[in-house]
Amino acid sequence: MTKLYAISLYRRKRADGEWVQLGWIVMMRRRGNLIHRRLSVKEFGSMDTALQAAIEFRDQINRECVPLTKRELCATIRGTNTSGVPGVFRARDGVQEYWKAGLLTANGTKRTRQFSIKKYGEDVAFDLAIQARSQLLDMVSGFHVHHPDIKNETRALPATQCQVTRQPCRLAPDENPYARERECDVPGVGITNVKTTTANGTTYITRYWTSMVRDKAGLPKRRYFSVAKHGEDEAKRLAVEHQLRAARTTDNRGATPEATVGAVVA
């Protein structure tokens, strides 16, 4: 029998070591909420009847609790993201630096667009990459499901409700004992390593201390301080100073001016 999506056997081990099948369990997570129900043989009369009830309950949940769309999944921020916007990243090709937008399509093809920092400037190139990422997301449709037996007849969210950036659903996760220690105690200040591959195949890493704040629209704005140019301690000090200055500006004016928090390499 093919494994059913979100449905598993509910059984108990007897004193003689034999297993007794008591029914079925439906268990799934929807947008951070765990849904769990046992459907027993005692309640429904037989394993087949209980299984049919489990399938109907599961399909009802999928109609009432909309699964993640593929677009929402693509817009979810990952722990490895450094730009603040999923699919948007900073890259260097030889001496040229770019802000890029990328998306892996359903057929495995990677679509990218890049905007030269030299041509547009740091802020404009970053904003153009965000716009390009939003356009790439318009190509994504359907729901993110793991098993072929799940019905795809669920309500879809209007495209206007699908944001470029989406926070993951978490229910008070336990602290990760393997998580990397924070580089700085000041929120919004951290380290960004930019990997560069030259035309002859040589790869090197450029290290920056960065300060990140969000504008009125909630989009991240970064400023980069090169360790190669300033040194480790001075680059960190400049990033912290920029972050604290931006925080004071926000407190005094209610919103951080973009001119103050634009993503600039220093």
- Single out the residue of 20, 19, 28, 24 nearest to residue 9, CA to CA: 24
Cβ distance 94 to 125 under 8 Å?
no
Which is more confidently placed, 151 or 222?
A: 222
pLDDT of residue 63: 80
How far is 36 from 10, CA to CA, in rounded Å?
12
Cβ distance 59 to 151 under 8 Å?
yes
- Summarize pLDDT for 153-190 with one digit per residue, the tens: 445 455 445 567 677 665 455 554 544 556 788 888 99
Count of CB atoms within 10 A of residue 99's CB?
27
pLDDT of residue 255: 45
Contacts of 14 (CB under 8 A, 6+ apart): 20
Percent residues over pLDDT 70 in the chain: 79
DSSP code for 160: G
Cβ distance 35 to 27 under 8 Å?
yes
Angle at 199 between CA 197 and CA 201, to 5 degrees: 55
Count of CB atoms within 10 A of residue 102's CB?
18
Distance of CA 143 to the CA centre of its chain: 16
DSSP string, 66-104: PPPBHHHHHTBPPTT-SSSSTTEEEEEETTEEEEEEEEE
- Summarize pLDDT for 186-226 with one digit per residue, the tens: 888 999 888 787 878 888 888 999 998 887 777 788 899 99
How far is 136 from 170, CA to CA, in rounded Å?
26
pTM of the predicted protein model: 0.51
The partner residues of 207 in beta bridges, in order of sequence, read 193
Q: State the average pLDDT over residues 135-154.
A: 68
- Summarize pLDDT for 55-71 with one digit per residue, the tens: 999 988 888 877 778 88
Distance of CA 170 to the CA centre of its chain: 12
How far is 8 from 114, CA to CA, in rounded Å?
46
pLDDT of residue 13: 87
Band (101; pLDDT cuts 50, 70, 90): very high
Which is more confidently placed, 250 or 91?
A: 91
Whether residue 134 has pLDDT greater than 80 = yes
Whether residue 4 has pLDDT greater than 70 = yes
